[in-house]
Chains A and B, each alone.
Chain A
Amino acid sequence: MNGAHDLGGMMGFGPVIAETDEPVFHTEWERRAFAVTLAMGALGEWNLDQSRHARETLPPPQYLTSSYFQIWLAGLVKLLEEHGLATSDELASGTVRQPARQTRKPQLKAAGVVSAMAKGGPVDRAAPADALYKPGDKIVTVNMHPSGHTRLARYLRGHKGEIASVHGCHVFPDSNAMGLGEDPHWLYSVKFSACELWGGSHRRDDYVFADLWEPYLIGR
């Protein structure tokens, strides 16, 4: 969707200001919000693409005025309600009103944290067909504005690029985020010239690379 999360190329946010000796977390609630989000994710009730979609469907004014962990928190609350793990009443009151329900995966235990994180969640899958493109092939990205989730950022739509490399066949977020299955597709590194994306005042030999799935591309 064309949400506030899709920031590439927007203007007016000011300079990038880096903090000296920045701590990993700035407050105790950030620590807890981070860990609660990961621990709830481990229950297997939603996938990573669904968490991203929950965050990016926040109303733009809320998204743009929240800190990153506040966005995580709002996304988590939305997922808890949507998946029936907590009711809005419980979330508002902090009191249990409904019994917990069985989750797809068991509770993440302290002893399992290090191994679960070291394992991660690879998203490469067996290929259902041969890749359509190879390095050097010229493509143009589709022009689309889906109301659901996509990883084809707005600034990359309808532009000419070139296949730089083939990463493999990966879970397709546009499907996975909507609960429609993994629907794996070939994933490519696609190279775009800065002047193609941003106009003639930009250098032809500066580049943006993005990782794009086959359904985002049309051969030319």
Chain B
Amino acid sequence: MPDDDHSHNHEGSELSETALRVRALESLLIEKGYIDPAALDELIDLYETKVGPRNGARVVAKAWSDPDYMDWLDKDATAAIASLGFTGRQGEHMVAVRNTPETHNMVVCTLCSCYPWTVLGLPPVWYKSAPYRSRAVIDPRGVLADFGVELPQSTRVQVWDSTAEMRYLVIPMRPEGCEDWPEDKLADLVTRDSMIGTGLALPPAQVAA
């Protein structure tokens, strides 16, 4: 599926048509009393400005800093993540998968776009796109190469296809050189992609400034 119908450089007639259809649909459903326009604004604000990958970064930073918390994530990720206030839609049943030198984990939803909203927000276009959904399970190392990630041959790759309502958060490896960093600073090393498994945590030198 092309991801570029909404790119900024060719807003053609098809796009205008979609925009008009959405506007007509919204006003019809408001007029019929099914939806409250103020609720739409609230939903947009929630997922555009409040729920996002900074939530997941806090979980990872805490897991790196606190072995008991990491154990809790292993045993009951839903409860461990809820303890930081991240609960609800598309995060009802959480699993944390931990990257190690031996094992690299990567998450996909081949059938639709299941993604842990509570900790990562809404998925990026590439995650929902046919190239990622088709290739992640058959050629994960090729997909990682698209992201500029090359793993040692000795590292095994585990791909988690989100076929049910379990949602996966990758706990990336903690980089070297940040041993004495506090949690809030550690969180700056944790990128969204590192929590999907298509990236690694940033090297400390990159954010130390």
Mark A residues whose CB is within 8 Å of B: 5-11, 13-19, 22, 24-36, 38-40, 43, 52, 55-56, 63-71, 73, 76-77, 85-86, 90-91, 94-96, 99-100, 103, 107-110, 112-114, 117-124, 151-153, 155-156, 167-168, 170-171, 173, 187, 189, 194, 197-198, 203, 205-213
Name the B residues within 8 Å of A211 (CB-CB): 161-164, 166
A66 near B147 (CB under 8 angstroms)?
no
Name the A residues within 8 Å of B29 (CB-CB): 36, 39-40, 86
A67 near B3 (CB under 8 angstroms)?
yes
- Name the residue on A nearest B113 (C-beta): A68
Known: A109-B36, A206-B157. A34 touches B47 (CB 8 A): yes
A100 near B32 (CB under 8 angstroms)?
yes
Name the B residues within 8 Å of A26 (CB-CB): 6-8, 125
The 4 A-B pairs at the shortest CB distance, nearest first, are namely A94-B24, A8-B110, A211-B164, A110-B38
Bound together, the chains give a CA A153 to CA B38 distance in angstroms of 38
Name the B residues within 8 Å of A14 (CB-CB): 131
B25 near A77 (CB under 8 angstroms)?
yes
Q: Say which residue of B33, B138, B147 sits within 8 Å of A9 (CB atoms).
A: B138
Name the A residues within 8 Å of B100 (CB-CB): none
Q: For chain B, residues 121 to 155, give those with C-beta under 8 angstroms from any C-beta of chain A.
A: 121-122, 124-126, 128-138, 140, 143, 146-147
Q: Say which residue of A94, A120, A205 sits within 8 Å of B89 (CB atoms).
A: A120
Mark B residues whose CB is within 8 Å of A: 1-3, 5-8, 15, 18-19, 21-29, 31-36, 38-44, 46-48, 51-52, 87-93, 95, 110-113, 118, 121-122, 124-126, 128-138, 140, 143, 146-147, 156-166, 193, 198
A210 near B23 (CB under 8 angstroms)?
no
A27 near B46 (CB under 8 angstroms)?
no
A35 near B43 (CB under 8 angstroms)?
yes
- Name the residue on A nearest B133 (C-beta): A7
Known: A7-B110, A113-B46, A120-B87. A30 touches B39 (CB 8 A): no
Name the A residues within 8 Å of B6 (CB-CB): 26-27, 30, 67, 69
A24 near B121 (CB under 8 angstroms)?
yes
- Name the residue on B nearest A165 (C-beta): B95
Name the B residues within 8 Å of A64 (CB-CB): 1, 130
Bound together, the chains give a CA A65 to CA B130 distance in angstroms of 10
Known: A10-B130, A27-B19, A207-B159. A100 touches B33 (CB 8 A): yes
Known: A29-B19, A151-B111, A213-B164. A68 touches B125 (CB 8 A): yes
